[in-house]
Structure 1
């Protein structure tokens, strides 16, 4: 990681994924690493087959990484959507405050 013009370059995985600037990337890779070790080790302890255990570990890495990535990205998207709705509501509250269209004012009228 070098500094150029005051910017720090992030660490890239396989030269394409900048894990410092990509949301959820670091956590997904760490979860994937733990998942691969767990899956490979459990398969090795159960079967004592080294090559197959390695393959299971790689598959465990891919599945755990992608699962963690999509779960985190889904939660981030849901949070951004909720924030957008709240911002629109606050904007409308400020816009309509004190007018006849203000939904917080109780209308008293003859029925």
Structure 2
């Protein structure tokens, strides 16, 4: 069983989309917000065109739907991400504190206070 050598794969050399000096792949919620916005705008625009046969109105409705749905999803996703990150940070601090007091008299005092 022989394996053919190939060029080394280095994942760090992937270049993402850089906008204003930031890689948008590193921004939480960016990808999903735009995918939902684009698909919603296209869908509503096509349905508007099929219902009214007015291309200009369908374009305006489609773009408005894209813009609004992207913003709404972005803000709700970022709010939930920030809330989750805050809870993770609190949990991490509590775990560090617990590890610091593990096996000491302070831990026994804290357990006695919890039981009382």
User: TM-score scaled to structure 2, two decimals?
Assistant: 0.71
* Residue 97 of structure 1 pairs with residue 107 of structure 2: no
Shift of 1:72: 1.8
Q: TM-score, normalised by structure 1?
A: 0.74
Distance 1:73 1:104 in 2: 36
Say whether residues 1:25 and 2:30 are aligned partners.
yes
Aligned to 2:80: 75
Gaps of 5+ in 1: 1-5
Distance 1:81 1:30, change over 3 A: same
- 1-structure distance, mates of 2:72, 2:81: 14
Aligned residue for 2:6?
none
**3-state SS of the aligned residue for 1:79?**
helix
Q: Which moved more, 1:17-26 or 1:59-68?
A: 17-26
Q: CA RMSD in A?
A: 2.2
Which of 62, 65, 78 is matched with 2:67 structurally? Answer: 62
Distance 1:87 1:100, change over 3 A: same
> What are structure 2's unaligned runs of at least 5 residues?
1-11
Partner of 2:4: none
Q: Greater share of helix residues, 1 or 2?
A: 2
Match of 2:13 in 1: 7
